[in-house]
Amino acid sequence: MANSKIIIVEGPQGAGKTTTTDYIRQAIPYTNLYRLSGTADITKAGKEKAKVMYEDLMDYIEKLQNKSINLLFDRTFFSEEIYCRLGFKEYSFTDVFEKLLDKLAKMDFDIYYITLYLSNEKEFAKRLDRVGKTKVKYTEFNTESSVNQQNEYLKLSTEIKEKYPNINVVNIDNCRALEEVQKEIKELLDWKEN
């Protein structure tokens, strides 16, 4: 197998992360899919919980270098940073986030950071209506929240692209036909179907 990949798919609620990560998991052999939800503790004590959780995750990933397996993530510590930037939590995560990102960037994987977004923001209303209400207090499934999240995710992807040239940063408009999006992802990740 060629170099193992870390593929991180991020984006606002309703952008299509579950559909996209399910597709990637089924399409690329030797791929493990991880769905992370972060910590629901919005207090300052939550920062330490998130820090420990994501440091442990990075240690786990580090152990899997050169093991001929791809790692696919539906959300990671990037979401924690976004929710803190938006004020959903009572603390700043930036200091921890930057250390985690530095560590990730130095790992021996082909690293892909994919931000899903919807160019037609009205599409959020349709998608979120299907999802219903979340049980997590600090976020709600609504169009305004998703648009605000989307704006922050797109800013963050620009920051990452400028600072870490070895991370393949890609923003994918998920308003298009599913086949079109899947074709773009297939070309991006450069895999051959069996």
The whole-chain average pLDDT of the chain stands at: 87
Distance of alpha carbon 71 from alpha carbon 109, whole angstroms: 9
Q: What are phi and psi of 191, to 5 degrees?
A: -120, 155
Phi-psi region of 171 (alpha: psi -120 to 50; beta: other; left: phi over 0): beta
Query: What does DSSP assign to residue 43?
Result: S
**CA–CA gap between residue 21 and residue 27 (Å, rounded):** 10
Q: What is the pTM of this model?
A: 0.88
The pLDDT tens digits for 126-144 are: 776 655 544 444 345 677 8
Per-residue model confidence as pLDDT tens digits over 7-60 = 999 999 888 899 999 999 988 888 999 998 778 889 899 999 999 999 999 999
User: Are 83 and 38 in contact, with CB atoms under 8 Å apart?
Assistant: yes
Query: Domains in the chain, please, with CATH?
Result: 5-189 (3.40.50.300)
